[in-house]
Structure 1
Amino acid sequence: MNRDWRLLLTASTISTLGDGAFLAVLPLLAANITTDPRLIAGVTAFGTLPWLLFSLPVGALVDRADPRRSLLRTQLAQAALVTVLAAATMAHTMSMALIYAVAFALGAAETVAKVAIQKLIPSVVPGELLEKANGRQNASMFSAKEFLGPPLGALLFSFAAALPLWADVATFAISAALVARLSRRPHPTGHSGRSIRAEVADGVRWLARHRLLRTLTLLSGAANLANYMALSTLVLFATSRLGLSGRGYGLLVGLMAAGGIAGSLLSARLVARFGGRAVVTTTIFTTPTAMLAIATLARDLPTMAALATFTSFGASLWNVASASLRQRTVPLELAGRVSSTGLLVTFGAQPIGAILGGLLAASPLGLTAPWLAAATLRLTAALLALPALRTWPTTLSSPINNTPASPPPNTPEPAAR
């Protein structure tokens, strides 16, 4: 692992630590204004809506530009946006409208950052080390954003509501300084003087013609739709059903990440031992089973934390295996557009799931309804995806930089066994 990878990983870890604190505080700020589950779910919906609106053009723009510069500018913009929210909190002028606006703007910035990082990783990491790199990246995300960040944010929030927001501003600034130190290197681009629409279409066609990656994308979309049904009202589930305080909610979110950290650290070994197909196939069935158990059994913090840890363990294995396959398969000059096409489906499903989750939680079935619906959706999607998952390659392909840019043919259906 070279200097640029260490800088990128450190920058990502620091910024996601601030994100974790911020994401724990945002629903707490909203819960101080309203207890309506539909309005609470709206925070998640507005924060994830940009993935549905901007993913495709962002991918084309990142493919035209230096991803290092795109990431640097985006993080500075994110620092400025959180500064606005922190100042409003200190001035006691907070409102749901402002929370929605900042959540939306930060979500738009995140689309650029996510695509830029996805393009940077395979450009600074050798192809044979992608599972290792993605495992470490995933571990740092869970450790900082979901394990350490939320309890830290909730703790700082108990002293002063604006304190975790200022901490997030600081982490964005430090991360931007580290990104600025990345080596300036040439990046293959797909810009040939054509329109954004034409360049976007290249990425969409490439992904649509690759049967396995297309199926993984749709499966991720279904999973995110289901996950955000449940997570959009988690703060109400934790306070009403589990009886947790604000600090208890932050602790729960942190404990939920423990499985993600373990899964990330073990992912490379498990994929090498059992193969990506076996790992992915197992997780798509075990995770919704745990979600069903949450709906029916979770009544206290230990039970909820144990079941949620199991789901995050599977999520990490899935993320590392599928991301490594995509990075190894997609030509680098199309990486931004193919990645953003996938993100349109996977992350674009989040606001829809959040809205559905709020509506389900307000139904007569109450706060368990989103978990039941999410588990049912994920199990159905898993069954439908099984035939395509059988085409998963059994050996690592050549490094991504040697992959031809022409769209692949449909992967043939293997013979039944």
Structure 2
Amino acid sequence: MGRNWYLLWSGSAVSALGDGLFLAALPLLAATLTQDPKLIAGVSFFGTLPWLLVSLSAGAAADRYDGRRLLLAALWVQCALMAVLAAFHNAHIAFLYGMAFLIGTAETVPRAVGQPLIKATVENHLLERANGRLFASQSTALQFLGPPLGGLLFAVAVPAPFWVNALTFAIAAALVTKMRTSHDKPPVRPKAREGLRWLLNHKALRTITVVSATTNLCIAMTMATLVLFAQQRLGLTNAGFGAFLATLACGGVAGGLFAERLISRYRYTISATVVLIPLMWLGIATVAHDLVTVAVFAVVSSFCTAVWGVATASFRQRTVPTELLGRVSSAQTLITWGVQPVGALLGGLTADWFGLLAPWYVAITLRTVVGVLSLRSLQRTALSTAGGSEHPVPPTGLSAG
């Protein structure tokens, strides 16, 4: 892993820190404008809607244009949008919906170009290591450092986390500027739907996509009103909400660091993650009434999520032809992340009609059914390989991505 990889890794970590600030500050800002679960869930709905609408186009762009330049453009756009949000933070909640949508749209580009850039900067046999380090650093910044800092800054001054977020995007852009990558793209304009067609025709990736999509749908249902869950069930303050989000990161960091070793040594690692995740959600919904208890279940859940993420990302990078990787990755994003606005909408309505715990129980039931049905197929699929083999080997195991 050379200079380009470390610059990409550093830029990703810095921008993830800004995303962590945003993760805590945006729902807190919404909660200052309304306590209606439906309206608060609307922020998640509009923020995730772009994954459904523009993912395929972002993937086609990633396969046609220089990924480094696309990433730079997206980072600067996100920087500008955060500055606008900071300047007009006290506007109507409809303005918040619009900004969430625009920021989410800009985020589809880094997601699309990230997979090809990783593959271009890392040798095949090092993909698990690279993805593991990337997942660990992103979990640390996005969930462990960012949310508590975002909650603290929000408590000090409402626009502060958004200004700092804008700064992180500028720093990330400066790091990516120093990368030197070749622009060797096809002369013919790639068709966006080719990636979706390739994905649907690949049995293993289809199964992975179904499990990941279900997981993301369920996570979106619970996250849509999580700020109210934290305030009303756990009695947390604004700063405490940031700490609550940070508990999710501990397992993610460990999972990213240990994923390579677990996947290569233990055949049923991935199957275990599929079973454990809904069990941990059940613990949160039933017996967790304080931050410490929630943290225990959340750490195990995020550890499993990280292991799945490393395994599926490495498998996808090895399996998909380079010239299709941006489109296939974005097609998978279209499905797995495109369900999030649906989940956010369902979560808000369910919480409004049946109470704040209802989305958790619906999510647990749905994820358990899909997980159990997918186990046999996953056990026959090699999601990654130990030692850098180019060919799949018998199974080893979420990013929900």
Q: TM-score range by the shorter chain?
A: over 0.9
Contact 1:328 1:398 in 2 (8 A): no
Q: 1:314 to 1:399 in 2, by over 3 A?
A: closer
How many residue pairs are counted as aligned between the two chains? 391
Matches within 5 A, 1:136-215: 136-187=133-184, 189-190=185-186, 192-193=188-189, 199-215=191-207
Q: By how many angstroms is 1:227 displaced? A: 0.9
Q: 1:115 aligns with which of 112, 115, 124?
A: 112
Cα distance in 2, alignment partners of residues 191 and 239 from structure 1: 54
Alpha-carbon distance between aligned partners in 2 of 1:227 and 1:398, rounded to the nearest angstrom: 33
**One-letter code aligned to 2:91:** M
SS at match of 1:393: coil
Amino-acid identity (%): 48
Shift of 1:292: 1.0
* Paired residues of 1:127 and 1:398 also in contact (CA < 8 A): no
In 2, the alpha carbon distance for the partners of 1:386 and 1:157 equals 43
Structure 1, residues 294-352: CA drift from partner, whole Å, max 9, x if none?
11111111111111111111110110011110101101100011001100010001111
Q: Which whole-Å CA distance do the structure 1 matches of 2:376 and 2:38 have between them?
A: 37
What 5-or-longer segments of structure 1 have no aligned partner?
Answer: 404-417
| 1:383, distance to aligned residue in structure 2 (A) | 1.6
- Structure 1 counterpart of 2:210: 218
- Cα distance between partner residues in 2 of 1:351 and 1:320: 24
For the residue of structure 2 that corresponds to 1:363, the secondary structure is helix
TM-score by length of 1: 0.91
CA distance in 2, matches of 1:330, 1:319: 16
Aligned 8 A contact 2:351 2:358 in 1: yes
Q: Output one character per residue of 1:110-143: Cα deviation in whole Å (capped at 9) or x when no partner.
A: 1111111111001100010000000011001110
Aligned match of 2:241 in 235, 249, 257?
Answer: 249
Paired residue for 2:395?
A: none
Change in 2 beyond 3 A, CA 1:104/1:355: same
Superposition map of 1:11-410 within 5 A: 11-89=11-89, 93-187=90-184, 189-190=185-186, 192-193=188-189, 199-275=191-267, 278-364=268-354, 366-393=355-382, 396=385
3-state DSSP class of the match of 2:382? coil
CA distance in 1, matches of 2:83, 2:134: 27
Whole-angstrom CA distance in 2 between matches of 1:388 and 1:186 = 38
- Rounded to whole Å, the distance in 1 between the matches of 2:275 and 2:313 is 19
Pairwise CA distance, 1:208:
1.1
Quick one: distance in 2 between partners of 1:244 and 1:88?
26
With 28-37 and 384-393 compared, the bigger mean Cα shift is at 384-393
Contact 2:43 2:96 in 1 (8 A): yes
Could you tell me which amino acid in structure 1 is paired with residue 370 of structure 2?
A
CA, structure 1 residues 394+225, in 2 after alignment: closer, same or farther (shift >3 Å)? Answer: closer
* Cα distance in 1 for residues equivalent to 2:67 and 2:343: 30
Task: Give the structure-2-normalised TM-score.
Answer: 0.94
User: What SS class does the counterpart of residue 184 from structure 1 fall into?
Assistant: coil
More displaced 10-residue stretch of structure 1: 200-209 or 246-255: 200-209
Contact between 1:285 and 1:379, CA under 8 Å: does it hold in 2? yes
Give deviations 1:265-310, integer Å, cap 9, x for gaps: 11111111114xx222111110001111111111111111111111
**What amino acid does structure 2 have at the position aligned with 1:158?**
A
Instruction: Measure how far apart 1:104 and its partner are.
Output: 0.3
Q: CA 1:151–1:355 in structure 2 vs 1: closer, same or farther (change >3 Å)?
A: same
Q: Secondary structure at the match of 1:20?
A: helix
Q: 1:63·1:191 contact (CA, 8 Å) conserved in 2?
A: no
- Distance in 2 of aligned mates of 1:216 and 1:134: 17
1:267 to 1:397, Cα distance in 2 relative to 1, 3 A: closer
CA spacing shift, 1:284–1:52, aligned 2, 3 Å: same
Do the aligned partners of 1:150 and 1:254 also contact (CA within 8 Å) in 2? yes
- SS where residue 186 of structure 1 aligns? coil
CA distance in 2, matches of 1:190, 1:338: 16
Q: Distance in 1 between matches of 2:222 and 2:181?
A: 42
Structure 2 unpaired stretches of 5+: 392-401
In 1, Cα distance between equivalents of 2:229 and 2:283: 14
- Deviation digits for residues 339-368 of structure 1 (CA, Å, limit 9, x no counterpart): 01100010001111111110111123x111
